[in-house]
Structure 1
């Protein structure tokens, strides 16, 4: 109630998950005419970002309620180490995915893909010369670029050879051999 201004719609299976569709509808219904309504709007947006991009799980429709206390103190949100937490969540997901009996993987895979495509062009679905200019946000470059189907012809062996014989990896603007 404190975060959204109304009682959230919870998952039928687990009372710890909040329906992201409901959060989006609350966000879109905010009038944005008072300071508090703007804060509710931003809290909804951040909660959707946490549940659908940064700390994702196999459910695409729900986000865990454990993130709600992080949104209470608006003045401290910017001091949290979101990047470290997201990276730890990704490492945990990669660890779980490496088990022999795992059939699916969760976690912030979109962020992992963008990171890999930026630093290892040989595995990217879009050739570098086709990408839009670097002035726009990195992930947006990949989401709006025209896809190539050339990578569909590659096999695991081809990808391994491409990665093994890569000339350089670009990390934060620096080239490392």
Structure 2
């Protein structure tokens, strides 16, 4: 509410207010936060700083994916890693699922460390589908488990444009543009 501040000064003051608010929430509301019987370690990322997921790794991936197919093909380590990832990826609208398989050398050397039931659920994770009982809404997670649908089946926008889902043996990818 102060007048006469530069844009930079105003932004710095807002960041301090947000930081103090998050500190207070952490200390008062989330002090004894537990999930599934375990203490949750709450971390507050200060305002104005990029969060950890968008650090150097993000920039490296953005740089690689911003290259043309020809440039990528010339970089053998990068393209091989991308192909490896694509074999374990199921890309849908709003969701990208990475799941270990049981046949490639990497997954054989690094076996699944979680329950087979969880991996089975992840491999068959349902896609959004219109609700038959509530027009204009989508099914709930529980309902979608009971009504199996093909991933990305209900995408009239992309289907009308001639895009869609590539579901080969190794690649499950939803194409939403000509570039992809």
Give the TM-score taking structure 2 as reference length.
Answer: 0.26
Structure number, greater radius of gyration: 2
